[in-house]
Amino acid sequence: MLHGRGSNGPEFAEELAETAAPGQTPLTQRFPGWRWVFPSSQELWSTAFEEMLPSWFEAHSLTDTTAREDLQMEGIRQSVVYVQSLVNREVAALGASTWLPFAATIERLLGEGDDHNTAETASDGNPSDTFVADMMPTLSPLAASPKDRSLLSTPVFLGHGVDDAVVDVELGRQAKQVLASAGFQVEWKEYSGAELEGHWFKTPEQVEDMAAFMATVTSTLAETTN
């Protein structure tokens, strides 16, 4: 779960755990078997606010996202690499309980993968390395290729407030369209009346929609692995 600009992982985790209507169970309490990860971004210089702010990438303007696009790319690149490394490590931690004999190999390949050497290392002839790399496609640079059609099976839920005073709903609609054009099946929901001038999760509706989406994903995964 990635926080917004100016926040951090622990703060977002605490706020999300408290987001619920009276009598409603918070989202984070509904899936006890899930592991919730709330990383923190680095601090970047904000050209708009002229100060250092926790940000996943620099956005010069939230009304004209094409303004100073050159400032966005490096932060996006670094954040993608960082988040991918977190996903890899979570996969390794989960897989270690099943592939216990290969736990050390997984950790080593992931560490080498941070330096983009995983494919070369796995092809050096070590059968254990090759087996683990084949079983964990996230270790391969090919996993990020747009041609990897399995990527399109990733469930996507997008929700946005029509009255969001910070990030215009039209930007959310554009994001949905981009993902749909790429071939993803996107579940899109619009809300109104959320706290923080529409720039937060709408309770109870959005929390219920997200819970239903996550429950469906869990059920689908259970069916495909049985």
Domain with CATH 3.40.50.1820 in the chain: 146-226
Cα 28 off chain centre by: 16
pTM for the predicted model, two decimal places: 0.72
CATH number of the structural domain 146-226 = 3.40.50.1820
pLDDT, position 20:
96
pLDDT, position 119:
45
Residue 182: enclosing H or E segment and its boundaries?
Answer: helix 169-182
Type of residue at 41: S
pLDDT, position 99:
47
Per-10-residue mean pLDDT of the chain, 226 residues long, equals 95 96 94 91 92 92 81 89 90 63 56 49 54 51 52 90 96 92 92 97 97 91 70
Question: Taking a C-beta distance cutoff of 8 angstroms, is the pair 194, 169 a contact?
Answer: no
Judging by beta carbons within 10 Å of its beta carbon (0-12, 13-18, 19+), is residue 113 exposed, middle or buried?
A: buried
Tens-place pLDDT, residues 117-166: 444 444 455 655 665 565 554 444 444 455 456 677 889 999 999 999 99
